[in-house]
């Protein structure tokens, strides 16, 4: 697989923090598994991880808070 941004083949498995501004609240999901380009830093999520992120953000956005920080591994079942 090549990086879609810079076409480099230097991709590595790592973790990142995922930020979402929903206007009514800010959500940060820590330690999200991803693939990262070693050259430009572009990050990619698998479909499974992206779906789980959507679920986490949806659940957190329904709480009565303006700012939420959650750990990805705490939300994987």
* 48-66: pLDDT as tens digits: 999 999 999 998 888 867 8
Would you say residue 68 lies in a domain?
yes
Would you say residue 3 lies in a domain?
no
Give residue 19's pLDDT. Answer: 95
Would you say residue 62 lies in a domain?
yes
Would you say residue 2 lies in a domain?
no
pLDDT band at 41 (very low <50, low <70, confident <90, very high): very high
- CATH number of the domain bearing residue 66: 3.10.20
Angle at 32 between CA 31 and CA 35, to 5 degrees: 120
pTM over 0.85: no
Would you say residue 29 lies in a domain?
yes
pLDDT band at 67 (very low <50, low <70, confident <90, very high): confident
Cβ contact 46:67 at 8 Å? no
Would you say residue 57 lies in a domain?
yes
Summarize the confidence of residues 41-45 as an average pLDDT: 97
Number of domains in the chain: 1
Would you say residue 5 lies in a domain?
no
Give residue 54's domain range: 11-75
CB count within 10 Å of CB 3 equals 19
């Amino acid at each position: 697989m090549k990086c879609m941004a810079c076409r480099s083949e230097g991709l590595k498995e790592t973790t990142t923090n995922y930020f979402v501004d929903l206007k009514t609240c800010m959500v940060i999901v820590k330690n999200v598994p991803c693939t990262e380009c070693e050259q430009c830093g572009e990050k990619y999520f698998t479909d499974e991880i992206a779906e789980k992120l959507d679920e986490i953000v949806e659940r957190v956005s329904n709480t009565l808070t303006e700012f939420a920080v959650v750990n990805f591994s705490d939300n994987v079942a």
